Chain A
Amino acid sequence: MTMEGKPYSRRLQDLEDRFEQLDPLIPEGHEKEAISVLHGIVQELLRSLHRGGGTPSTDGPTLADIAELHRRAPPMEGESHSTPLSLGARAPDLSLQDGNGRLVSLHDFRGRPVILVFYPLDWSPSCSDQLSLYQAESGEFDKYAVQLLGVSVDSIYSHGAWAAVRGLTFPLLADFEPKGEVARRYQVWRPKEGFCERALYVVDKDGMIRYSYVSPKLDQVPDIYELYRVLDSLQAPVHGAPEVAGRK
C-alpha cells in the first residue's frame, strides 16, 4: 500500500495510537512493565537508526561532547532560601567583568530594559540548558530591545570557555571577588553553597525592578512564557490597564 498523496506515513502513528489505547486495558504487573520496556527499546532503536548508528569519534572529545557534559554531571539540588528585592525598588548598580575581561555596569544600559539572570554555576546541569534557552531566544529579546546579563560566581575564564562552548553571546558577569557580593546585594546569595540562587530580575529602562523571581528549587528554570508576559507588560501604555499578551 503506497502513501502517495498523503502528507506523511500514518503507519507508525497508528501503531503508536493503538499502543497508547492498550495501556488501560492491561493489568498492572511485570508483564505490562515488560511490554512497556520493549516498546521503549524499539523506539530507542529507531532513534539510533535515524542518528546513523552513532559511531564514536576516534579523535577524542568534540566541542559538542563538551557541551553535553552537563547531562552526566552531578545534579544540582536544593530549595530556595531567599526573598528577592521588592518590585518598584531601584535596582542596585553593579559593575563586573565579563568573559572577555570587559567591565560591564548596569547603568550602561539605562534607557532599555535589562534581564538579570542569576544562576548558580557555569557548566552545571540546569544552568547549561537555561542559558542555551536564552541564547536561542536572542532574536525575540532583540524585538523587546532588552539586554540580557548573566551573573554567577565563576571566573571570567570559566565564563569565556563556557560561552564559547555553548555559543552564548550575551555577557556573563563574574561575581567572583568579593565572591557573591552582587548576589548578596540582590538578596539571592546561598552562603552554605557559595553560589547564588537561580533568579531573574527584570529592570526597566529607568532602573526600577519590575519583576523578580527566585526558583523554588535550584534545578527549576523560570518559565520563559511568563518572562515574555512581563516583557509585554513593560511595553504596555503607562496609563490605563497594561495588556499582558501571552504566547502559545
Chain B
Amino acid sequence: MNATPIPETGPHAPYGGRPVPAIAPVVVYGTGWCAATQGVRRHLDRRGVQCHYVDIEKDPAAAARLRWMTGGSLSHPTVSVAGEVLVEPSLYEVDWALSRAGMM
C-alpha cells in the first residue's frame, strides 16, 4: 500500500510548513560569574556550535521562562538542545545531546 505523500506546505505539512533550520537551536541559561556556565559556553565555542546565551540575572523574563521549563529551578547552567532541557549538565551530556541533534 502506498503511503500518503507528506504535503510540503499547508496546515498538514510537517511543522505547519515552517522552514526547518539547518541546525538545532542551542540555548544556554546562566550567569556571567558561574564557572560551569562559562565552561559550557567555551566548550560550545571550541566545538564551533553557535548558541544563544541568556544571562538570567540580566533578563528576568528569561529567568521566569527557565523556572517554567525546569519545574521551578533556576539552576545554572541549564542547556536546551533541540528540545532537551539539561539542568547543570556535564560536558559529556552536552556532547551527547548535540550528537543526537546531529550537531556533532
Contacts and interface: CB of A to CB of B under 8 A. Distances in A.
Interface residues of A, number: 46
B38 A224 contact: yes
B87 to A, nearest CB: 8
Given A43-B85, A47-B86, A223 B38 contact: yes
A19 B67 CA distance: 12
A33 B72 contact: yes
B28 to A, nearest CB: 11
Interface stretch (A129-137, A161-169, A188-196, A202-210): A129-137
Give the dominant DSSP class at B's interface.
mixed
A10 B71 contact: no
Given A36-B72, A221-B33, A132 B15 contact: no
Interface of B: 6, 14-15, 20-25, 32-36, 38-39, 41-43, 45, 64-65, 67-73, 80, 82-87, 89, 93, 96-97, 100-103
Contact of B25 (A9, A13, A126, A225): A13
B93 A51 contact: yes
B45 A13 contact: no
A72 interface: no
Interface of A: 1, 6-17, 19-20, 23, 33, 36-41, 43-44, 46-47, 50-51, 126, 129-130, 132-133, 136-137, 215, 217, 220-225, 247-248
Given A8-B82, A23-B68, A133-B35, A13 B93 contact: no
Give the dominant DSSP class at A's interface.
helix
A225 B41 CA distance: 10
Given A8-B24, A43-B84, A43-B85, A37 B71 contact: yes
